[in-house]
Protein backbone atom coordinates (compact mmCIF):
# COMPACT_ATOMS: atom_id res chain seq x y z
CA UNK A 1 0.00 0.00 0.00
CA UNK A 2 1.27 3.45 -0.92
CA UNK A 3 2.49 5.49 2.05
CA UNK A 4 0.25 8.43 2.89
CA UNK A 5 1.85 11.63 4.12
CA UNK A 6 0.44 14.43 6.27
CA UNK A 7 1.29 18.03 6.95
CA UNK A 8 1.42 19.57 10.41
CA UNK A 9 -1.95 21.20 9.78
CA UNK A 10 -3.44 17.83 8.78
CA UNK A 11 -2.47 16.28 12.12
CA UNK A 12 -3.69 19.32 14.02
CA UNK A 13 -7.07 19.16 12.28
CA UNK A 14 -7.36 15.39 12.81
CA UNK A 15 -7.13 15.68 16.61
CA UNK A 16 -8.58 19.17 17.06
CA UNK A 17 -5.52 21.06 18.29
CA UNK A 18 -3.39 24.00 17.12
CA UNK A 19 -0.47 23.20 14.77
CA UNK A 20 1.90 24.62 17.39
CA UNK A 21 0.69 21.94 19.81
CA UNK A 22 1.63 19.28 17.25
CA UNK A 23 5.13 20.73 17.10
CA UNK A 24 5.29 20.83 20.88
CA UNK A 25 4.29 17.17 21.17
CA UNK A 26 6.98 16.34 18.65
CA UNK A 27 9.58 18.29 20.63
CA UNK A 28 8.52 16.45 23.80
CA UNK A 29 9.17 13.10 22.15
CA UNK A 30 5.51 12.07 22.11
CA UNK A 31 5.78 11.19 18.41
CA UNK A 32 8.55 9.48 16.42
CA UNK A 33 11.25 11.68 14.84
CA UNK A 34 10.01 13.21 11.58
CA UNK A 35 11.73 13.67 8.25
CA UNK A 36 11.61 16.90 6.27
CA UNK A 37 11.08 17.68 2.60
CA UNK A 38 13.74 19.67 0.70
CA UNK A 39 11.72 22.83 1.39
CA UNK A 40 11.91 22.16 5.15
CA UNK A 41 8.33 21.03 5.62
CA UNK A 42 7.84 18.08 7.98
CA UNK A 43 6.61 14.79 6.50
CA UNK A 44 4.24 12.98 8.88
CA UNK A 45 2.91 9.45 8.37
CA UNK A 46 0.08 7.38 9.83
CA UNK A 47 2.49 6.28 12.54
CA UNK A 48 2.83 9.88 13.71
CA UNK A 49 -0.93 10.38 13.65
CA UNK A 50 -1.50 7.21 15.68
CA UNK A 51 0.97 8.34 18.34
CA UNK A 52 -0.44 11.87 18.39
CA UNK A 53 -3.97 10.57 18.95
CA UNK A 54 -2.73 8.35 21.76
CA UNK A 55 -0.76 11.18 23.40
CA UNK A 56 -3.68 13.55 23.06
CA UNK A 57 -6.00 11.00 24.64
CA UNK A 58 -3.72 10.71 27.67
CA UNK A 59 -2.67 14.36 27.99
CA UNK A 60 -6.13 15.84 27.47
CA UNK A 61 -7.39 14.21 30.69
CA UNK A 62 -7.02 16.21 33.95
CA UNK A 63 -3.53 15.97 35.42
CA UNK A 64 -3.77 13.03 37.87
CA UNK A 65 -0.39 13.38 39.57
CA UNK A 66 3.13 12.32 38.65
CA UNK A 67 2.62 8.60 39.15
CA UNK A 68 -0.27 8.21 36.73
CA UNK A 69 1.25 10.64 34.25
CA UNK A 70 4.49 8.62 34.29
CA UNK A 71 2.52 5.44 33.52
CA UNK A 72 0.76 7.23 30.68
CA UNK A 73 4.10 8.39 29.29
CA UNK A 74 5.36 4.81 29.29
CA UNK A 75 2.43 3.80 27.07
CA UNK A 76 3.20 6.65 24.68
CA UNK A 77 6.92 5.84 24.52
CA UNK A 78 6.20 2.21 23.65
CA UNK A 79 4.00 3.45 20.80
CA UNK A 80 6.69 5.90 19.66
CA UNK A 81 9.10 2.96 19.41
CA UNK A 82 6.51 1.12 17.35
CA UNK A 83 5.97 -1.55 20.03
CA UNK A 84 2.18 -1.46 20.32
CA UNK A 85 2.04 -4.83 22.08
CA UNK A 86 4.15 -3.36 24.87
CA UNK A 87 1.94 -0.27 24.80
CA UNK A 88 -1.07 -2.51 25.38
CA UNK A 89 0.64 -4.27 28.28
CA UNK A 90 1.53 -0.94 29.87
CA UNK A 91 -2.00 0.34 29.26
CA UNK A 92 -3.36 -2.54 31.32
CA UNK A 93 -0.88 -1.73 34.12
CA UNK A 94 -2.02 1.89 33.95
CA UNK A 95 -5.66 0.84 34.11
CA UNK A 96 -5.12 -1.45 37.11
CA UNK A 97 -3.23 1.28 39.00
CA UNK A 98 -6.11 3.69 38.51
CA UNK A 99 -8.67 1.08 39.57
CA UNK A 100 -6.69 0.36 42.74
CA UNK A 101 -6.44 4.08 43.57
CA UNK A 102 -10.16 4.52 42.95
CA UNK A 103 -10.99 1.55 45.18
CA UNK A 104 -8.87 3.03 47.98
CA UNK A 105 -10.54 6.44 47.64
CA UNK A 106 -14.02 4.88 47.59
CA UNK A 107 -13.21 2.72 50.63
CA UNK A 108 -11.89 5.70 52.61
CA UNK A 109 -15.04 7.70 51.84
CA UNK A 110 -17.24 4.76 52.89
CA UNK A 111 -15.33 4.43 56.19
CA UNK A 112 -15.75 8.17 56.71
CA UNK A 113 -19.52 7.95 56.28
CA UNK A 114 -19.73 5.02 58.71
CA UNK A 115 -17.58 6.86 61.26
CA UNK A 116 -19.77 9.96 61.00
CA UNK A 117 -22.72 7.90 62.21
CA UNK A 118 -20.83 6.33 65.12
CA UNK A 119 -18.12 8.84 66.09
CA UNK A 120 -17.18 9.19 69.73
CA UNK A 121 -18.33 12.15 71.77
CA UNK A 122 -16.21 13.61 74.54
CA UNK A 123 -15.21 11.08 77.22
CA UNK A 124 -13.72 11.21 80.69
CA UNK A 125 -10.65 9.20 79.60
CA UNK A 126 -7.27 10.60 80.57
CA UNK A 127 -6.13 12.79 77.63
CA UNK A 128 -2.88 12.08 75.82
CA UNK A 129 -0.04 14.39 74.90
CA UNK A 130 0.85 15.14 71.28
CA UNK A 131 3.92 12.89 71.32
CA UNK A 132 1.87 9.89 72.44
CA UNK A 133 -0.74 10.53 69.77
CA UNK A 134 1.92 10.87 67.07
CA UNK A 135 3.36 7.50 68.13
CA UNK A 136 -0.07 5.81 68.14
CA UNK A 137 -0.95 7.15 64.69
CA UNK A 138 2.53 6.68 63.24
CA UNK A 139 2.85 10.28 62.10
CA UNK A 140 5.18 13.17 62.86
CA UNK A 141 4.30 15.98 65.24
CA UNK A 142 4.17 18.34 62.26
CA UNK A 143 1.40 16.29 60.63
CA UNK A 144 -0.78 16.82 63.69
CA UNK A 145 0.14 20.50 64.01
CA UNK A 146 -0.58 21.08 60.32
CA UNK A 147 -4.00 19.46 60.63
CA UNK A 148 -4.81 21.91 63.42
CA UNK A 149 -3.24 24.87 61.58
CA UNK A 150 -5.27 24.09 58.44
CA UNK A 151 -8.52 24.04 60.38
CA UNK A 152 -9.15 20.31 60.09
CA UNK A 153 -9.33 19.82 63.86
CA UNK A 154 -9.62 21.91 67.00
CA UNK A 155 -7.63 20.45 69.90
CA UNK A 156 -8.44 21.39 73.50
CA UNK A 157 -5.64 22.97 75.52
CA UNK A 158 -4.54 22.63 79.11
CA UNK A 159 -5.50 25.91 80.77
CA UNK A 160 -2.39 25.76 82.94
CA UNK A 161 0.41 25.18 80.41
CA UNK A 162 -1.47 25.45 77.06
CA UNK A 163 -0.41 21.93 76.06
CA UNK A 164 -2.68 20.12 73.61
CA UNK A 165 -4.97 17.51 75.14
CA UNK A 166 -6.05 14.63 72.91
CA UNK A 167 -9.08 12.60 73.90
CA UNK A 168 -10.54 9.63 72.04
CA UNK A 169 -12.67 11.99 69.93
CA UNK A 170 -9.64 13.95 68.68
CA UNK A 171 -7.62 10.79 68.00
CA UNK A 172 -10.48 9.30 65.95
CA UNK A 173 -10.71 12.49 63.91
CA UNK A 174 -6.97 12.49 63.27
CA UNK A 175 -7.24 8.88 62.08
CA UNK A 176 -9.91 9.92 59.59
CA UNK A 177 -7.81 12.88 58.40
CA UNK A 178 -4.79 10.62 57.95
CA UNK A 179 -6.81 7.97 56.12
CA UNK A 180 -8.38 10.47 53.71
CA UNK A 181 -5.03 12.14 53.04
CA UNK A 182 -3.39 8.79 52.27
CA UNK A 183 -6.31 7.99 49.93
CA UNK A 184 -5.50 11.12 47.89
CA UNK A 185 -8.03 13.68 49.11
CA UNK A 186 -6.74 17.24 49.45
CA UNK A 187 -6.82 19.31 52.63
CA UNK A 188 -9.40 21.53 50.94
CA UNK A 189 -11.71 18.56 50.27
CA UNK A 190 -11.31 17.27 53.83
CA UNK A 191 -11.90 20.73 55.29
CA UNK A 192 -15.02 21.16 53.14
CA UNK A 193 -16.35 17.87 54.49
CA UNK A 194 -15.57 18.71 58.14
CA UNK A 195 -17.27 22.11 57.86
CA UNK A 196 -20.45 20.27 56.91
CA UNK A 197 -19.94 17.56 59.52
CA UNK A 198 -19.30 20.05 62.32
CA UNK A 199 -22.46 21.90 61.30
CA UNK A 200 -24.42 18.71 62.00
CA UNK A 201 -24.59 17.20 58.51
CA UNK A 202 -23.62 13.52 58.74
CA UNK A 203 -25.08 12.50 55.37
CA UNK A 204 -23.68 12.51 51.82
CA UNK A 205 -20.15 13.15 53.05
CA UNK A 206 -18.66 11.24 50.11
CA UNK A 207 -20.42 13.60 47.71
CA UNK A 208 -19.32 16.62 49.75
CA UNK A 209 -15.69 15.42 49.61
CA UNK A 210 -15.95 15.44 45.83
CA UNK A 211 -18.02 18.58 45.27
CA UNK A 212 -16.33 21.99 45.66
CA UNK A 213 -18.60 24.78 46.87
CA UNK A 214 -19.47 27.59 44.39
CA UNK A 215 -17.23 30.03 46.32
CA UNK A 216 -14.31 27.61 46.54
CA UNK A 217 -11.16 27.87 44.42
CA UNK A 218 -10.03 24.54 42.96
CA UNK A 219 -6.26 24.18 43.03
CA UNK A 220 -5.67 20.46 42.48
CA UNK A 221 -7.49 17.44 41.09
CA UNK A 222 -7.49 16.07 44.64
CA UNK A 223 -10.10 18.71 45.50
CA UNK A 224 -12.50 16.50 43.50
CA UNK A 225 -10.58 13.26 43.70
CA UNK A 226 -13.33 10.71 43.02
CA UNK A 227 -14.40 12.55 39.88
CA UNK A 228 -10.79 12.78 38.71
CA UNK A 229 -10.16 9.07 39.24
CA UNK A 230 -13.37 8.09 37.46
CA UNK A 231 -12.36 10.30 34.53
CA UNK A 232 -8.92 8.66 34.55
CA UNK A 233 -10.50 5.20 34.53
CA UNK A 234 -12.66 6.15 31.56
CA UNK A 235 -9.57 7.45 29.74
CA UNK A 236 -7.60 4.28 30.58
CA UNK A 237 -10.40 2.15 29.12
CA UNK A 238 -10.38 4.27 25.96
CA UNK A 239 -6.60 3.96 25.63
CA UNK A 240 -6.77 0.16 25.80
CA UNK A 241 -9.51 0.08 23.17
CA UNK A 242 -7.54 2.45 20.92
CA UNK A 243 -4.31 0.43 21.18
CA UNK A 244 -6.25 -2.73 20.38
CA UNK A 245 -7.65 -1.05 17.27
CA UNK A 246 -4.13 -0.11 16.15
CA UNK A 247 -2.93 -3.69 16.64
CA UNK A 248 -5.94 -5.05 14.76
CA UNK A 249 -5.29 -2.66 11.86
CA UNK A 250 -1.62 -3.67 11.76
CA UNK A 251 -2.56 -7.35 11.81
CA UNK A 252 -4.99 -6.95 8.93
CA UNK A 253 -2.50 -4.91 6.91
CA UNK A 254 -4.70 -1.82 6.82
CA UNK A 255 -1.85 0.42 7.98
Mean pLDDT, the chain, rounded, equals: 91
Three-state secondary structure along the chain?
Answer: CCCCCECHHHHHHHHCCCHHHHHHHHHCCCCCCCEECCCCCEEECHHHHHHHHHHHHHHCCCCCCHHHHHHHHHHHHHHHCCCHHHHHHHHHHHHHHHHHHHHHHHHHHHHHHHHHHHCCCCCCCCCECHHHHHHHHCCCHHHHHHHHHCCCCCCCECCCCCCECECHHHHHHHHHHHHHHHCCCCHHHHHHHHHHHHCCCCCCHHHHHCCCCCCCCCCCHHHHHHHHHHHHHHHHHHHHHHHHHHHHHHHHCCC
**pLDDT given at position 151:** 93
The percentage of the chain sitting over the pLDDT mark of 70, rounded to a whole number, equals: 97
Q: Is the pTM of this model over 0.85?
A: yes
pLDDT digits (tens, 9 = 90+) for 113-131: 999 988 877 666 788 999 9
Q: What is the pLDDT of residues 74-83, one digit of tens each?
A: 999 999 999 9
CATH of 102-226, one of 3.40.640.10, 3.40.50.150, 3.40.50.2300, 1.10.1660.10: 1.10.1660.10
Report pLDDT for 90: 98
The two domains 1-60 and 102-226 share their CATH topology (first three levels equal): yes
pLDDT category of residue 255 using cuts at 50, 70 and 90: low
Q: Which CATH number fits domain 1-60: 3.40.630.30, 1.10.1660.10, 3.40.50.300, 3.60.21.10?
A: 1.10.1660.10
Which tops the pLDDT comparison, 148 or 2?
148
Provide the residue ranges of all domains of the chain, joining segments of one domain with +.
1-60, 102-226
Amino acid sequence: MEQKYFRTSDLAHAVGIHPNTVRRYLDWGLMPPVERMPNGYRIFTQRHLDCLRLARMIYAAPYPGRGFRALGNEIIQSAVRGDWLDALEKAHIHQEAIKAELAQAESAADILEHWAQTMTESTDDEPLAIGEVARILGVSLDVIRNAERNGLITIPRNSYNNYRLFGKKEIERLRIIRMLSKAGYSHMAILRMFLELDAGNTRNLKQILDTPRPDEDIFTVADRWLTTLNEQKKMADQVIEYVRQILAAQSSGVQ
